[in-house]
Structure 1
Protein backbone atom coordinates (compact mmCIF):
# COMPACT_ATOMS: atom_id res chain seq x y z
CA UNK A 1 0.00 0.00 0.00
CA UNK A 2 2.88 2.37 0.84
CA UNK A 3 5.14 3.10 -2.15
CA UNK A 4 7.00 6.37 -1.54
CA UNK A 5 8.55 7.53 1.72
CA UNK A 6 9.36 11.04 2.87
CA UNK A 7 10.93 12.40 6.03
CA UNK A 8 10.48 15.52 8.12
CA UNK A 9 13.19 16.54 10.62
CA UNK A 10 11.50 18.53 13.35
CA UNK A 11 12.92 21.30 15.50
CA UNK A 12 11.19 22.42 18.69
CA UNK A 13 12.56 25.78 19.78
CA UNK A 14 16.30 25.51 19.09
CA UNK A 15 16.35 21.75 19.78
CA UNK A 16 16.25 18.94 17.24
CA UNK A 17 13.31 16.76 18.28
CA UNK A 18 13.60 13.89 15.82
CA UNK A 19 12.69 12.52 12.42
CA UNK A 20 9.20 11.61 11.24
CA UNK A 21 9.08 9.10 8.37
CA UNK A 22 5.90 9.13 6.30
CA UNK A 23 4.72 6.39 3.96
CA UNK A 24 2.66 7.62 1.01
CA UNK A 25 -0.19 5.82 -0.75
CA UNK A 26 1.10 6.82 -4.17
CA UNK A 27 -0.75 4.09 -6.07
CA UNK A 28 -4.11 5.15 -4.62
CA UNK A 29 -3.79 8.95 -4.65
CA UNK A 30 -0.86 9.66 -7.03
CA UNK A 31 -1.51 13.36 -7.65
CA UNK A 32 -1.87 14.15 -3.96
CA UNK A 33 1.28 12.20 -3.12
CA UNK A 34 3.26 13.81 -5.94
CA UNK A 35 2.35 17.22 -4.56
CA UNK A 36 3.71 16.23 -1.15
CA UNK A 37 6.85 14.61 -2.60
CA UNK A 38 7.76 17.66 -4.69
CA UNK A 39 7.24 20.02 -1.75
CA UNK A 40 9.40 17.79 0.46
CA UNK A 41 12.14 17.90 -2.17
CA UNK A 42 11.68 21.61 -2.78
CA UNK A 43 11.59 23.02 -6.29
CA UNK A 44 13.10 26.15 -7.75
CA UNK A 45 11.11 29.02 -9.22
CA UNK A 46 13.61 31.58 -10.49
CA UNK A 47 15.79 32.38 -7.45
CA UNK A 48 13.38 30.90 -4.90
CA UNK A 49 12.93 27.37 -3.62
CA UNK A 50 9.38 26.59 -2.55
CA UNK A 51 8.76 23.66 -0.24
CA UNK A 52 8.22 22.44 3.28
CA UNK A 53 11.75 23.06 4.58
CA UNK A 54 11.80 25.79 7.25
CA UNK A 55 8.01 25.99 7.40
CA UNK A 56 6.27 25.79 10.75
CA UNK A 57 3.85 23.43 12.41
CA UNK A 58 1.18 26.08 12.79
CA UNK A 59 -1.83 24.25 14.25
CA UNK A 60 -2.08 21.84 17.17
CA UNK A 61 -5.47 20.51 18.24
CA UNK A 62 -4.85 18.47 21.37
CA UNK A 63 -5.92 14.87 20.90
CA UNK A 64 -7.01 15.54 17.31
CA UNK A 65 -4.29 16.57 14.84
CA UNK A 66 -1.30 18.76 14.07
CA UNK A 67 -0.99 20.73 10.82
CA UNK A 68 1.75 22.37 8.76
CA UNK A 69 2.73 23.05 5.19
CA UNK A 70 2.19 26.76 4.55
CA UNK A 71 4.78 27.18 1.79
CA UNK A 72 4.06 30.88 1.29
CA UNK A 73 4.94 32.47 4.62
CA UNK A 74 5.44 29.30 6.66
CA UNK A 75 3.13 30.33 9.49
CA UNK A 76 -0.35 29.12 8.57
CA UNK A 77 -1.62 32.63 7.87
CA UNK A 78 -2.12 31.69 4.21
CA UNK A 79 -3.77 28.66 2.64
CA UNK A 80 -0.56 27.64 0.91
CA UNK A 81 -0.21 26.62 -2.73
CA UNK A 82 0.17 23.31 -4.52
CA UNK A 83 2.60 22.32 -7.26
CA UNK A 84 -0.37 22.54 -9.62
CA UNK A 85 -0.54 26.32 -9.20
CA UNK A 86 -3.24 26.87 -6.61
CA UNK A 87 -5.80 24.51 -5.11
CA UNK A 88 -6.39 21.11 -6.66
CA UNK A 89 -9.39 18.74 -6.47
CA UNK A 90 -10.10 16.01 -3.95
CA UNK A 91 -8.51 13.07 -5.77
CA UNK A 92 -10.59 10.38 -4.04
CA UNK A 93 -11.62 9.21 -0.58
CA UNK A 94 -10.59 5.57 -0.93
CA UNK A 95 -8.44 5.73 2.21
CA UNK A 96 -10.27 6.24 5.50
CA UNK A 97 -9.16 7.77 8.79
CA UNK A 98 -8.39 4.69 10.86
CA UNK A 99 -5.79 5.56 13.48
CA UNK A 100 -3.38 8.07 14.92
CA UNK A 101 -0.67 8.94 12.44
CA UNK A 102 -2.92 9.26 9.39
CA UNK A 103 -1.48 11.86 6.96
CA UNK A 104 -4.13 13.88 5.12
CA UNK A 105 -4.73 17.13 3.28
CA UNK A 106 -6.26 20.09 5.07
CA UNK A 107 -8.83 22.03 3.07
CA UNK A 108 -11.37 24.85 3.19
CA UNK A 109 -14.21 22.95 1.55
CA UNK A 110 -14.59 20.68 -1.45
CA UNK A 111 -11.68 20.63 -3.93
CA UNK A 112 -9.51 23.17 -2.08
CA UNK A 113 -6.35 21.13 -1.41
CA UNK A 114 -3.07 23.03 -1.53
CA UNK A 115 0.11 22.39 0.46
CA UNK A 116 -1.35 22.27 3.98
CA UNK A 117 -1.35 18.81 5.57
CA UNK A 118 -2.33 17.26 8.88
CA UNK A 119 -1.26 14.25 10.95
CA UNK A 120 -3.89 12.84 13.28
CA UNK A 121 -3.27 12.25 16.98
CA UNK A 122 -6.18 9.81 17.26
CA UNK A 123 -8.72 8.15 15.01
CA UNK A 124 -10.80 10.83 13.28
CA UNK A 125 -13.68 9.04 11.56
CA UNK A 126 -15.56 12.32 11.14
CA UNK A 127 -12.87 13.50 8.68
CA UNK A 128 -13.50 10.61 6.27
CA UNK A 129 -14.94 11.76 2.91
CA UNK A 130 -14.00 15.35 3.81
CA UNK A 131 -10.18 15.21 3.79
CA UNK A 132 -8.02 13.10 1.46
CA UNK A 133 -5.88 10.58 3.36
CA UNK A 134 -2.64 9.98 1.44
CA UNK A 135 -0.17 8.49 3.91
CA UNK A 136 0.74 7.34 7.39
CA UNK A 137 3.48 7.81 9.97
CA UNK A 138 5.82 4.83 9.70
CA UNK A 139 8.34 6.03 12.28
CA UNK A 140 8.55 9.00 14.62
CA UNK A 141 5.07 9.03 16.13
CA UNK A 142 6.80 9.90 19.39
CA UNK A 143 7.79 13.23 17.84
CA UNK A 144 4.25 13.82 16.57
CA UNK A 145 2.82 13.15 20.02
CA UNK A 146 5.35 15.50 21.60
CA UNK A 147 4.20 18.23 19.21
CA UNK A 148 0.61 17.38 20.09
CA UNK A 149 1.29 18.29 23.71
CA UNK A 150 2.55 21.79 22.85
CA UNK A 151 -0.64 23.48 21.66
CA UNK A 152 -2.34 26.44 23.30
CA UNK A 153 -6.06 26.63 24.00
CA UNK A 154 -6.56 28.41 20.68
CA UNK A 155 -4.71 25.70 18.74
CA UNK A 156 -1.41 27.49 18.13
CA UNK A 157 2.03 26.14 19.13
CA UNK A 158 3.23 27.35 22.52
CA UNK A 159 6.82 27.33 21.18
CA UNK A 160 8.20 27.60 17.63
CA UNK A 161 8.08 24.23 15.84
CA UNK A 162 9.50 23.93 12.34
CA UNK A 163 10.58 21.48 9.69
CA UNK A 164 14.36 21.85 9.77
CA UNK A 165 14.94 19.66 6.74
CA UNK A 166 12.88 17.23 4.69
CA UNK A 167 13.08 15.08 1.61
CA UNK A 168 12.40 11.73 -0.02
CA UNK A 169 13.87 8.42 1.17
CA UNK A 170 15.07 6.23 -1.69
CA UNK A 171 15.44 2.45 -1.53
CA UNK A 172 19.06 1.35 -1.51
CA UNK A 173 20.37 4.74 -0.45
CA UNK A 174 21.41 5.82 3.03
CA UNK A 175 19.09 8.40 4.59
CA UNK A 176 20.58 11.86 5.10
CA UNK A 177 22.09 12.51 8.53
CA UNK A 178 19.92 14.33 11.06
CA UNK A 179 20.62 17.96 11.95
CA UNK A 180 22.76 18.85 14.94
CA UNK A 181 21.12 18.74 18.34
CA UNK A 182 21.21 22.54 18.67
CA UNK A 183 19.62 24.35 15.77
CA UNK A 184 20.27 27.71 14.17
CA UNK A 185 17.70 29.83 12.39
CA UNK A 186 18.09 29.07 8.68
CA UNK A 187 14.88 30.44 7.24
CA UNK A 188 14.62 30.19 3.47
CA UNK A 189 13.21 33.04 1.39
CA UNK A 190 9.50 32.73 0.72
CA UNK A 191 7.39 33.82 -2.19
CA UNK A 192 4.28 35.93 -2.08
CA UNK A 193 1.08 34.58 -3.58
CA UNK A 194 1.22 37.19 -6.36
CA UNK A 195 4.79 36.20 -7.24
CA UNK A 196 3.83 32.54 -7.37
CA UNK A 197 0.84 33.15 -9.61
CA UNK A 198 2.85 35.35 -11.97
CA UNK A 199 4.91 32.37 -13.09
CA UNK A 200 3.37 29.76 -15.38
CA UNK A 201 3.00 26.33 -13.82
CA UNK A 202 4.50 24.85 -16.98
CA UNK A 203 7.80 26.59 -16.20
CA UNK A 204 8.26 24.82 -12.89
CA UNK A 205 10.62 21.83 -12.97
CA UNK A 206 9.15 18.67 -11.53
CA UNK A 207 5.58 19.89 -11.84
CA UNK A 208 2.85 17.37 -12.60
CA UNK A 209 -0.28 18.44 -14.40
CA UNK A 210 -3.51 17.11 -12.87
CA UNK A 211 -5.70 15.11 -15.23
Structure 2
Protein backbone atom coordinates (compact mmCIF):
# COMPACT_ATOMS: atom_id res chain seq x y z
CA UNK A 1 0.00 0.00 0.00
CA UNK A 2 1.49 3.35 -1.02
CA UNK A 3 2.28 6.14 1.38
CA UNK A 4 0.27 9.33 1.67
CA UNK A 5 2.79 12.03 0.98
CA UNK A 6 1.77 15.60 0.34
CA UNK A 7 3.58 17.28 -2.60
CA UNK A 8 5.49 20.51 -2.11
CA UNK A 9 3.32 23.63 -1.82
CA UNK A 10 4.96 24.94 -4.98
CA UNK A 11 3.05 22.34 -6.96
CA UNK A 12 -0.31 23.63 -5.82
CA UNK A 13 -1.75 26.57 -7.64
CA UNK A 14 -5.41 27.47 -7.91
CA UNK A 15 -6.30 28.73 -11.35
CA UNK A 16 -9.36 30.84 -12.05
CA UNK A 17 -9.55 30.56 -15.79
CA UNK A 18 -11.76 29.41 -18.59
CA UNK A 19 -10.63 26.00 -19.75
CA UNK A 20 -9.82 25.99 -23.44
CA UNK A 21 -11.59 23.20 -25.25
CA UNK A 22 -9.70 21.63 -28.13
CA UNK A 23 -10.24 19.08 -30.88
CA UNK A 24 -9.78 16.52 -28.13
CA UNK A 25 -12.96 17.90 -26.51
CA UNK A 26 -14.82 17.66 -29.80
CA UNK A 27 -13.75 14.05 -30.23
CA UNK A 28 -15.00 13.13 -26.77
CA UNK A 29 -18.27 14.95 -27.20
CA UNK A 30 -19.00 13.41 -30.59
CA UNK A 31 -18.04 9.85 -29.74
CA UNK A 32 -19.50 9.66 -26.25
CA UNK A 33 -22.83 11.43 -26.62
CA UNK A 34 -24.41 9.41 -23.83
CA UNK A 35 -21.50 9.95 -21.45
CA UNK A 36 -21.94 12.36 -18.56
CA UNK A 37 -18.99 13.75 -16.66
CA UNK A 38 -18.78 12.71 -13.01
CA UNK A 39 -18.29 15.17 -10.20
CA UNK A 40 -14.58 15.40 -9.52
CA UNK A 41 -13.34 16.47 -6.09
CA UNK A 42 -11.81 19.94 -6.06
CA UNK A 43 -8.55 20.83 -4.39
CA UNK A 44 -10.45 22.95 -1.88
CA UNK A 45 -11.78 19.75 -0.32
CA UNK A 46 -9.08 17.25 -1.29
CA UNK A 47 -5.33 17.71 -1.05
CA UNK A 48 -3.46 15.62 -3.65
CA UNK A 49 -1.37 12.97 -1.96
CA UNK A 50 0.87 10.21 -3.26
CA UNK A 51 -1.25 7.08 -3.50
CA UNK A 52 1.09 4.88 -5.55
CA UNK A 53 4.80 4.46 -6.19
CA UNK A 54 6.06 3.25 -9.57
CA UNK A 55 9.52 2.86 -11.06
CA UNK A 56 10.82 3.42 -14.57
CA UNK A 57 14.23 2.14 -15.69
CA UNK A 58 15.85 4.18 -18.46
CA UNK A 59 18.60 2.72 -20.66
CA UNK A 60 20.74 3.65 -23.66
CA UNK A 61 20.52 1.50 -26.79
CA UNK A 62 23.44 1.64 -29.27
CA UNK A 63 21.81 -0.48 -32.00
CA UNK A 64 18.25 0.84 -32.31
CA UNK A 65 19.07 2.75 -35.51
CA UNK A 66 21.38 0.08 -36.95
CA UNK A 67 20.98 0.28 -40.76
CA UNK A 68 21.72 -3.46 -40.96
CA UNK A 69 18.63 -4.40 -38.95
CA UNK A 70 16.33 -6.98 -40.54
CA UNK A 71 12.55 -7.30 -40.59
CA UNK A 72 12.81 -9.94 -37.88
CA UNK A 73 14.55 -7.56 -35.48
CA UNK A 74 12.36 -6.19 -32.71
CA UNK A 75 13.15 -3.22 -30.52
CA UNK A 76 13.84 -5.51 -27.57
CA UNK A 77 16.32 -7.71 -29.50
CA UNK A 78 18.12 -4.69 -30.94
CA UNK A 79 18.58 -3.29 -27.44
CA UNK A 80 19.64 -6.52 -25.75
CA UNK A 81 23.08 -5.05 -25.01
CA UNK A 82 21.83 -1.73 -23.69
CA UNK A 83 23.40 0.30 -20.87
CA UNK A 84 21.27 1.16 -17.84
CA UNK A 85 21.09 4.89 -17.15
CA UNK A 86 19.26 4.42 -13.87
CA UNK A 87 15.94 3.99 -12.08
CA UNK A 88 13.43 6.76 -11.46
CA UNK A 89 10.80 6.37 -8.73
CA UNK A 90 7.54 8.22 -9.22
CA UNK A 91 4.81 9.12 -6.76
CA UNK A 92 1.35 9.28 -8.36
CA UNK A 93 -1.65 11.43 -7.36
CA UNK A 94 -4.38 8.80 -7.67
CA UNK A 95 -6.86 10.71 -5.53
CA UNK A 96 -6.76 13.79 -7.77
CA UNK A 97 -6.79 12.27 -11.28
CA UNK A 98 -7.77 8.60 -10.80
CA UNK A 99 -8.34 7.76 -14.48
CA UNK A 100 -5.04 9.25 -15.62
CA UNK A 101 -3.16 7.43 -12.87
CA UNK A 102 -5.02 4.16 -13.49
CA UNK A 103 -4.16 4.22 -17.19
CA UNK A 104 -0.51 5.00 -16.46
CA UNK A 105 -0.36 2.11 -13.99
CA UNK A 106 -1.93 -0.24 -16.56
CA UNK A 107 0.66 0.74 -19.15
CA UNK A 108 3.45 0.01 -16.66
CA UNK A 109 2.11 -3.21 -15.16
CA UNK A 110 1.40 -4.88 -18.49
CA UNK A 111 5.16 -4.89 -19.09
CA UNK A 112 5.50 -7.56 -16.42
CA UNK A 113 3.57 -10.13 -18.43
CA UNK A 114 5.24 -12.88 -20.43
CA UNK A 115 3.53 -11.81 -23.65
CA UNK A 116 4.89 -9.23 -26.08
CA UNK A 117 5.28 -5.73 -24.75
CA UNK A 118 3.43 -3.87 -27.52
CA UNK A 119 0.78 -2.64 -25.07
CA UNK A 120 3.11 -1.25 -22.44
CA UNK A 121 5.78 1.38 -21.88
CA UNK A 122 8.50 -1.26 -21.71
CA UNK A 123 10.84 -1.17 -24.74
CA UNK A 124 9.50 2.20 -25.87
CA UNK A 125 11.44 5.35 -26.64
CA UNK A 126 12.03 8.70 -25.06
CA UNK A 127 11.31 10.31 -28.41
CA UNK A 128 11.77 14.04 -27.75
CA UNK A 129 14.03 16.03 -25.43
CA UNK A 130 13.66 19.78 -25.00
CA UNK A 131 16.84 20.90 -23.17
CA UNK A 132 16.21 22.84 -20.00
CA UNK A 133 12.49 22.00 -20.10
CA UNK A 134 11.17 18.43 -20.37
CA UNK A 135 11.27 15.17 -22.31
CA UNK A 136 8.50 13.11 -23.89
CA UNK A 137 7.93 9.33 -23.78
CA UNK A 138 5.12 6.90 -24.57
CA UNK A 139 4.24 8.08 -28.07
CA UNK A 140 1.44 6.08 -29.65
CA UNK A 141 2.38 4.26 -32.83
CA UNK A 142 4.30 1.18 -33.94
CA UNK A 143 5.93 -1.07 -31.30
CA UNK A 144 8.67 -2.11 -33.74
CA UNK A 145 9.73 1.53 -33.78
CA UNK A 146 9.77 1.82 -30.02
CA UNK A 147 6.32 3.39 -29.86
CA UNK A 148 3.28 2.45 -27.76
CA UNK A 149 0.12 0.61 -28.78
CA UNK A 150 -2.33 1.01 -25.88
CA UNK A 151 -4.60 -1.97 -25.15
CA UNK A 152 -8.15 -1.73 -26.45
CA UNK A 153 -9.60 -2.05 -22.96
CA UNK A 154 -7.78 1.03 -21.66
CA UNK A 155 -10.35 3.47 -20.26
CA UNK A 156 -11.25 6.61 -22.17
CA UNK A 157 -9.81 9.47 -20.16
CA UNK A 158 -12.62 11.95 -19.58
CA UNK A 159 -10.39 13.87 -17.18
CA UNK A 160 -8.83 15.52 -20.25
CA UNK A 161 -11.90 17.78 -20.48
CA UNK A 162 -12.37 18.41 -16.75
CA UNK A 163 -10.90 21.71 -15.45
CA UNK A 164 -10.21 20.21 -12.00
CA UNK A 165 -7.62 17.89 -13.59
CA UNK A 166 -5.43 20.85 -14.61
CA UNK A 167 -4.97 22.60 -11.26
CA UNK A 168 -1.37 21.46 -10.65
CA UNK A 169 1.44 23.30 -12.40
CA UNK A 170 4.77 22.38 -13.97
CA UNK A 171 6.58 24.44 -11.37
CA UNK A 172 9.88 22.59 -10.92
CA UNK A 173 12.01 19.66 -12.16
CA UNK A 174 10.53 16.19 -11.79
CA UNK A 175 6.88 16.95 -12.54
CA UNK A 176 5.17 14.02 -14.29
CA UNK A 177 2.39 15.00 -16.66
CA UNK A 178 0.06 13.44 -19.25
CA UNK A 179 1.04 15.09 -22.52
CA UNK A 180 -2.01 16.47 -24.30
CA UNK A 181 -0.61 19.47 -26.17
CA UNK A 182 3.12 18.95 -26.62
CA UNK A 183 3.15 15.83 -28.78
CA UNK A 184 3.57 15.30 -32.52
CA UNK A 185 1.09 12.48 -32.94
CA UNK A 186 -0.62 12.39 -36.31
CA UNK A 187 -3.94 14.23 -36.20
CA UNK A 188 -5.68 11.32 -37.95
CA UNK A 189 -4.55 9.03 -35.13
CA UNK A 190 -5.80 11.48 -32.51
CA UNK A 191 -9.24 11.75 -34.10
CA UNK A 192 -9.67 7.97 -34.22
CA UNK A 193 -12.40 7.00 -31.70
CA UNK A 194 -10.08 4.27 -30.44
CA UNK A 195 -7.28 6.71 -29.63
CA UNK A 196 -6.01 6.63 -26.04
CA UNK A 197 -3.47 9.26 -25.07
CA UNK A 198 -0.76 7.64 -22.95
CA UNK A 199 2.12 9.91 -23.89
CA UNK A 200 3.70 11.56 -20.87
CA UNK A 201 6.34 14.12 -20.08
CA UNK A 202 8.72 14.77 -17.19
CA UNK A 203 10.09 18.24 -16.55
CA UNK A 204 13.87 18.36 -16.33
CA UNK A 205 14.53 21.83 -14.94
CA UNK A 206 16.34 23.86 -13.93
CA UNK A 207 13.29 26.14 -13.93
CA UNK A 208 9.52 25.79 -14.27
CA UNK A 209 7.66 25.18 -17.54
CA UNK A 210 4.63 27.52 -17.36
CA UNK A 211 3.92 26.98 -21.06
CA UNK A 212 2.75 23.47 -20.15
CA UNK A 213 0.26 24.62 -17.51
CA UNK A 214 -3.51 24.31 -18.16
CA UNK A 215 -2.76 22.10 -21.18
CA UNK A 216 -1.34 18.89 -19.69
CA UNK A 217 -2.46 16.89 -16.65
CA UNK A 218 0.07 16.72 -13.81
CA UNK A 219 -0.42 13.32 -12.17
CA UNK A 220 2.80 12.62 -10.30
CA UNK A 221 6.25 13.65 -9.17
CA UNK A 222 9.78 12.21 -9.19
CA UNK A 223 10.61 10.95 -5.69
CA UNK A 224 14.03 9.48 -6.49
CA UNK A 225 16.31 9.53 -9.52
CA UNK A 226 16.28 13.19 -10.47
CA UNK A 227 19.91 12.69 -11.49
CA UNK A 228 18.70 10.22 -14.13
CA UNK A 229 16.23 12.82 -15.40
CA UNK A 230 19.10 15.33 -15.63
CA UNK A 231 21.24 12.80 -17.51
CA UNK A 232 18.48 12.27 -20.08
CA UNK A 233 18.06 16.02 -20.47
CA UNK A 234 21.77 16.35 -21.32
CA UNK A 235 21.63 13.94 -24.29
CA UNK A 236 22.28 15.86 -27.55
CA UNK A 237 19.31 16.23 -29.89
CA UNK A 238 18.74 17.00 -33.56
CA UNK A 239 18.25 20.73 -34.07
CA UNK A 240 17.16 21.96 -37.51
CA UNK A 241 18.74 25.10 -38.91
CA UNK A 242 16.72 28.30 -39.13
CA UNK A 243 16.44 27.91 -42.91
CA UNK A 244 15.03 24.39 -42.53
CA UNK A 245 12.49 25.72 -40.02
CA UNK A 246 11.43 28.47 -42.41
CA UNK A 247 11.04 26.05 -45.33
CA UNK A 248 9.07 23.69 -43.09
CA UNK A 249 6.73 26.50 -42.02
CA UNK A 250 6.20 27.43 -45.66
CA UNK A 251 5.44 23.83 -46.62
CA UNK A 252 3.04 23.53 -43.70
CA UNK A 253 1.30 26.75 -44.80
CA UNK A 254 0.67 25.26 -48.24
CA UNK A 255 -0.65 22.03 -46.70
CA UNK A 256 2.29 19.84 -47.61
CA UNK A 257 1.96 16.72 -45.43
CA UNK A 258 5.71 16.21 -45.48
CA UNK A 259 6.13 19.21 -43.17
CA UNK A 260 4.72 17.41 -40.14
CA UNK A 261 6.64 14.24 -40.97
CA UNK A 262 9.86 16.25 -41.02
CA UNK A 263 9.11 17.78 -37.63
CA UNK A 264 9.02 14.34 -36.00
CA UNK A 265 12.84 14.33 -36.14
CA UNK A 266 13.22 17.72 -34.44
CA UNK A 267 14.48 17.49 -30.84
CA UNK A 268 14.95 13.76 -31.29
CA UNK A 269 17.82 12.45 -29.11
CA UNK A 270 20.90 11.53 -31.13
CA UNK A 271 21.52 8.64 -28.72
CA UNK A 272 18.61 6.24 -28.30
CA UNK A 273 17.22 6.31 -24.76
CA UNK A 274 14.32 4.06 -23.88
CA UNK A 275 12.27 2.54 -21.06
CA UNK A 276 13.85 -0.84 -20.31
CA UNK A 277 11.56 -1.66 -17.39
CA UNK A 278 8.69 -0.31 -15.31
CA UNK A 279 6.42 -1.49 -12.53
CA UNK A 280 4.94 -0.89 -9.10
CA UNK A 281 6.79 -0.50 -5.81
CA UNK A 282 4.93 -1.80 -2.77
CA UNK A 283 5.73 0.17 0.36
CA UNK A 284 5.03 -1.74 3.57
CA UNK A 285 5.65 1.21 5.88
CA UNK A 286 5.33 4.80 4.71
CA UNK A 287 8.61 6.66 4.95
CA UNK A 288 9.19 10.28 5.84
CA UNK A 289 8.43 12.75 3.04
CA UNK A 290 11.42 12.95 0.71
CA UNK A 291 13.36 16.15 0.24
CA UNK A 292 12.20 17.31 -3.16
CA UNK A 293 14.00 19.99 -5.22
Say yes or no: TM over 0.5: yes
> Structure 1's 23 and 11: CA in aligned 2 closer, same or farther, altered over 3 A?
same
Matches of residues 25-174 of structure 1 in structure 2 within 5 Å? 25-42=93-110, 48-49=116-117, 50-70=119-139, 72-74=141-143, 81=150, 84=154, 88-90=158-160, 91=162, 92-108=165-181, 114-122=197-205, 123-152=208-237, 153=239, 154-172=266-284
Q: Which residue of 2 aligns with 1:182?
A: none
> Structure 1's 113 and 71: CA in aligned 2 closer, same or farther, altered over 3 A?
closer
Higher strand fraction (1 or 2)? 1
Q: Cα distance, 1:67 vs. partner? A: 0.8
The two structures, once aligned, show a CA RMSD in angstroms of 3.1
* Alignment partners' CA distance in 2, 1:44 and 1:19: 16
> Structure 1's 138 and 43: CA in aligned 2 closer, same or farther, altered over 3 A?
closer
Matches of residues 188-199 of structure 1 in structure 2 within 5 Å? none
Report the TM-score when normalising by structure 1.
Answer: 0.71
Question: In the comparison of the two structures, how many residue pairs are matched?
Answer: 173
Contact 2:134–2:202, Cα closer than 8 Å, also in 1:
yes
> Structure 1's 76 and 136: CA in aligned 2 closer, same or farther, altered over 3 A?
farther
- Structure of higher RCO (CA pairs closer than 8 Å, 6+ residues apart): 1
* Alignment partners' CA distance in 1, 2:149 and 2:203: 20
SS of residue paired to 1:135? strand
Structure 1 unmatched runs, 5+: 174-211
Contact 1:80–1:116, Cα closer than 8 Å, also in 2:
no
> Structure 1's 100 and 43: CA in aligned 2 closer, same or farther, altered over 3 A?
closer
Q: Does 1:5 align with 2:53?
A: yes
* Alignment partners' CA distance in 2, 1:44 and 1:142: 25
Report the TM-score when normalising by structure 2.
Answer: 0.52
* Alignment partners' CA distance in 2, 1:100 and 1:139: 12
Larger radius of gyration: 2
